[in-house]
Structure 1
Amino acid sequence: MRTRATTAVLAALLPVALTACSSTGDGKTAKKPPVLTTPTNHAPSATADQARADLEKAVRTYTAAYFKPDVTTAYSLISTRCREQITKPGLGMLLDRAHKASGARTVKTFTIDKFSGDMARVSYGVGEPQYDQHDQPWTREGGHWRFDAC
């Protein structure tokens, strides 16, 4: 019996709660905030948070270098931890293989999945599913974002 009464009260209050969340107080419906999307061009999206814009720029630069292939730029954008696990010539072999398999690629879609201080996880696509990344870790070292998925 108690469950039925609770359900009835909640059902009666739901429209009131929804109205309270969507009105401006003067009887007018509030406008929904705009949904931020990332453009498909090479420039980072305009965001209120410079660190997020810097992260996007680093991901785009690393990805373009990866498929160019530009091992010097790509290697400069990997974390110290990853540099302990892969050499510049080793990375160069990966870049050459990716370039031969699909040519030059750039980021087409970009999403920041998680962002906390100097750590972030991103997902992005380059127009070829085998190279799309999901929940890829990045870290900020010395004020610069670095690829950290090694």
Structure 2
Amino acid sequence: MFFIITAVALIIPYAAVQGSHPTLSQSGIEGLKNLSKKYNSKLNWNEDLAKKTYEWMTKKTPVKADVTYRGKKCIPKADDKEPATDMITSTFAESFEKEGMKIAALGVGSYGCSGFVDRRGKRKSCIYVGCLFSSLKDGRRFI
């Protein structure tokens, strides 16, 4: 009986952490905004798309968007701190550039970005970021 109680006591906190990922700080989100605006200054921030991006990343929810971006970078635990604007911009600039031409071609539109840091690894923490971009061409709008 003691073994069962101990096992349940250890499993419950682990299961609670499994699906919970706090979002990036505002500074980290600013880094993603800077990357997005670098390719298309006609985009407007959309909080609903930012929320959908988080769901898309954490719950694997299917999304409709003209352009999607997802990135991951793992860092040693010793360097683990809350990602700031410069860190996000420099870390994801190269992989973000692969979608740059698609983002630039959108013209007027909206976008939302989100991300989180998964600190559950023993030696590394991983930063996950993503953005959804929607064009307003032809009156279309995905949200």
So what's the TM-score if we normalise by structure 2?
Answer: 0.30
Larger radius of gyration: 1
Tell me: higher relative CO, structure 1 or 2? Use CA pairs within 8 A at least 6 residues apart: 2
* Structure with greater strand percent: 2
